[in-house]
Chain A
């Protein structure tokens, strides 16, 4: 019995040690991570999500998208994230400072989505997401992503067709019977807004100063001064 207090103290300090070291230290140092003002763009980055994209993030949460899709681009040379066009640089902590929930994800059953808003842009991007969510087989044959048809509402056209009707974007075999339309629900609209808003800005100066630079190998340099100048 007299060993019990000792065991208890040891158990307590073991957990306290890791909590302090892993979480508290970073919780404190992250307070210094503030948005950075970019002169050329005239805005501070990272930016907050616009309103309906923020609502769309709730849809992302409730449907569990994070269990197949990650949202973190790994550093160049580690994995192939950047070679795949999933981002131009590795993600850094500052990218996430505005996020109330951070869905880094741990599975890539589907591609990383951190910069999906840079790959599918504007109206063409919206149409792609519409088709992909209605039935992933439309845009990505052989995909194992489930269909999200419940984000769409098939209904009878009453009076004027809805401005949010989307069946024109869907291939022939998905067309509803005559007099019917397929309308994107607000949830679907919000989710697509969220996906279109996901993109990270260029690397912030403080982080850029800490990028790993391999030592230059003199034998590797192929000097073409004219081309090097022209390439600037």
Chain B
């Protein structure tokens, strides 16, 4: 590359000859590089326009609003509180009274529980022909408490007659019985049975938790599902 040396002006010091050589630069490539770089605007800088006043007001308002929000919904900073509306004082007052559910609350609870039953008996309460009996206008539902409670507690197997039709499905046991899968509490059994006795045109008496407990105790030894014949004594 010694020919390049001769292109440099004579007043350029010797070490710059060296560097120009190392850069492998000839006039043409410097020109090219500069073209893309030359057309660039200068490097970015910041102006010093002062902040608009409204912005300070806006930010202060935001800080205020968010602080109020945090204080209001802090749940007492208690790690066991999961509801932002929780108020320790109100909770204490409510806990002191006896817990009695209104009929509406029982039916609402039963309705939620019924979601599990709807898989077979359907949301319409009409069941599936030949397999799952309907609950709507069913004599099994609106009739004897003793029979109905037993069906839900221990389950039901074998063909049954409902409204003159035959159904042959397998109803699992929902009560707290030995080997039971669902293990629903007596209260839950009472709630869901009360619900099915009040929907789809049915209107029969609420079933109480105490009644369910009584039946469960009476059948404490039973672990297998009922058949229609076995339930006949309880049908009235």
A residues with CB within 8 A of B: 26, 29-30, 32, 75, 82-85, 88, 90, 92-93, 118-119, 121-122, 124-125, 206-207, 209-213, 215-216, 221-222, 224, 227-232
Q: Of all chain A residues, which has the CB nearest B97?
A: A216
B80 beta carbon closer than 8 Å to chain A: yes
B94 beta carbon closer than 8 Å to chain A: yes
Are B82 and A75 within 8 A (Cβ)? yes
User: Which residue of A93, A124, A209, A221 contacts B102 across the interface (Cβ within 8 Å)?
Assistant: A221
Task: State the main secondary structure of chain A at its contact with B.
Answer: loop
Task: State the main secondary structure of chain B at its contact with A.
Answer: loop
Q: Of all chain B residues, which has the CB nearest A225?
A: B100
- Compute how far the CA of A29 lies from the CA of B75 in the bound complex, rounded to whole angstroms: 15
- Compute how far the CA of A221 lies from the CA of B104 in the bound complex, rounded to whole angstroms: 10
Residues in B59-83 with C-beta less than 8 Å from chain A: 78-83
- Which of B80, B94, B112, B113 has the largest count of A CB atoms less than 10 A from its CB? B80
Closest 5 CB pairs between A and B?
Answer: A85-B115, A122-B181, A212-B83, A121-B181, A213-B94
B200 beta carbon closer than 8 Å to chain A: no
| A-B CB contact pairs (8 Å), 29 listed | A32-B79, A75-B83, A83-B112, A84-B115, A85-B113, A90-B83, A93-B80, A119-B119, A121-B172, A121-B182, A207-B82, A209-B91, A210-B86, A211-B83, A211-B86, A212-B85, A212-B91, A213-B94, A222-B102, A224-B102, A224-B103, A228-B100, A228-B102, A228-B103, A230-B206, A231-B100, A231-B102, A232-B100, A232-B208
Given contacts A122-B172, A230-B206, contact A215 B81 (CB under 8 A): no
- Compute how far the CA of A85 lies from the CA of B113 in the bound complex, rounded to whole angstroms: 7
For B209, list chain A residues within 8 Å (CB). Answer: 231-232
- Compute how far the CA of A229 lies from the CA of B209 in the bound complex, rounded to whole angstroms: 11
User: Which residue of A75, A118, A209 contacts B95 across the interface (Cβ within 8 Å)?
Assistant: A209
Q: Of all chain B residues, which has the CB nearest A229?
A: B100
Given contacts A210-B83, A210-B91, 14 further A-B contacts (CB under 8 A): A85-B112, A119-B119, A121-B182, A124-B172, A209-B91, A210-B81, A212-B85, A212-B87, A213-B94, A215-B90, A224-B103, A228-B102, A229-B100, A231-B100
CB distance from B172 to the nearest CB of A (A): 6
B204 beta carbon closer than 8 Å to chain A: no
B215 beta carbon closer than 8 Å to chain A: no
For B104, list chain A residues within 8 Å (CB). Answer: 222
Are A119 and B91 within 8 A (Cβ)? no
B30 beta carbon closer than 8 Å to chain A: no
- Compute how far the CA of A26 lies from the CA of B100 in the bound complex, rounded to whole angstroms: 36
B124 beta carbon closer than 8 Å to chain A: no
Q: Of all chain A residues, which has the CB nearest B86?
A: A212
B170 beta carbon closer than 8 Å to chain A: yes
B148 beta carbon closer than 8 Å to chain A: no
Are A227 and B112 within 8 A (Cβ)? no
- Compute how far the CA of A229 lies from the CA of B208 in the bound complex, rounded to whole angstroms: 9
Q: Of all chain A residues, which has the CB nearest B182?
A: A121
User: Which residue of B90, B103, B106, B182 contacts A213 across the interface (Cβ within 8 Å)?
Assistant: B90
For B82, list chain A residues within 8 Å (CB). Answer: 75, 90, 92, 207, 210
For A84, list chain B residues within 8 Å (CB). Answer: 115
- Compute how far the CA of A215 lies from the CA of B83 in the bound complex, rounded to whole angstroms: 15
- Compute how far the CA of A192 lies from the CA of B90 in the bound complex, rounded to whole angstroms: 44
- Compute how far the CA of A26 lies from the CA of B101 in the bound complex, rounded to whole angstroms: 35
Q: Of all chain B residues, which has the CB nearest A41?
A: B183
Are A232 and B94 within 8 A (Cβ)? no
CB distance from A37 to the nearest CB of B (A): 17
- Compute how far the CA of A216 lies from the CA of B93 in the bound complex, rounded to whole angstroms: 11
For B229, list chain A residues within 8 Å (CB). Answer: none
For B203, list chain A residues within 8 Å (CB). Answer: none
Given contacts A213-B94, A227-B103, contact A207 B80 (CB under 8 A): yes
CB distance from A138 to the nearest CB of B (A): 14
For B94, list chain A residues within 8 Å (CB). Answer: 213, 216
User: Which residue of A75, A206, A216, A227 contacts B80 across the interface (Cβ within 8 Å)?
Assistant: A206
Q: Of all chain B residues, which has the CB nearest A84?
A: B115
